[in-house]
Amino acid sequence: MVLETVTTLLAGAVFGLALAAPPGPMNAVIAEESVVYGWRAGFTAGLGAMTADVAFFLLSVAGVVAVVDRVPLLRAGMVGAGGLLMLYFAYGAARDVTATLAPEETSGRSAGFRKALVLALTNPYQVVFWLTVGVGLLQPGTVDVLGETPYVGDALAGLLVVRTGSPALLVGLFGGIVVWIVGFPALLVAGTRRVGRATPVVTGVSAVVLAGFGVAFLWDATRLLL
């Protein structure tokens, strides 16, 4: 029983890391905050994204967020709002590129928690994940852990299949996310300290990623409305 629980916890942690690690708007915000304001700012940005995950999971269990999946107009509105926010934050990241070239100008206050939280709360795809896969983790059955990984799930399908229905799986999942939001900012900060010129590069990439996802979200919102 103990061995099974430990295995389930580890599988959940792998699941959480697989969900948190792929490039996307949340990691773009975490990266920007980390290199501009330091590890604490990057970590708190990650906490903002994880707070939204916890909220969505609880609302999914209660059946509240199912409304988003049933009302196309509401979903389109969330997608559009998320796209606009990403473009706005991309503009802010682009401005930070200039600020990072002049260290004396980077003494502002981090807003990473709020930025990541708002982006996550306006992401209907995150809602759908917790409405389907997330709630399913509490129901007896199986889940293809790596098969749910964004972008590369099809290639990893079948490599790690575990039984669901155990709270340990969810504990492990959020534990994996915590490992990522602690470790990712630390790696970025350590890297930029060793290579000073990396800070504007990371910030610039974050701006491009946010802008790309913003355009993609607005395109999806237009398609949903049409």
What are residue 164's DSSP bridge partners? 141
Which residues in the chain show pLDDT less than 50?
Answer: 103-106
Q: Among 209, 187, 195, which residue's Cα sits nearest to residue 39?
A: 187
Please say whether the dihedral angle defined by the alpha carbons of residues 200, 93, 53 and 152, taken in this order, is positive or negative: negative
pLDDT value at position 195?
Answer: 56
pLDDT value at position 185?
Answer: 93
pLDDT value at position 175?
Answer: 93
Say how far apart CA 153 and CA 185 lie, in whole Å: 25
pLDDT value at position 47?
Answer: 94
Residues in the chain: 226
pLDDT value at position 104?
Answer: 46
Residue 20, CA atoms < 13 Å, CB-side half-sphere: 32
For residue 153, give Cα distances in angstroms to 22, 36, 87, 119.
11, 32, 27, 23
pLDDT value at position 146?
Answer: 63
Which alpha helices (DSSP H) does 122-197 contain, by range?
A: 124-129, 135-136, 153-156, 167-194
- Residue 143 DSSP code: E
pLDDT value at position 216?
Answer: 79
pLDDT value at position 226?
Answer: 75
Helix (H), strand (E) at residue 40: helix 39-62
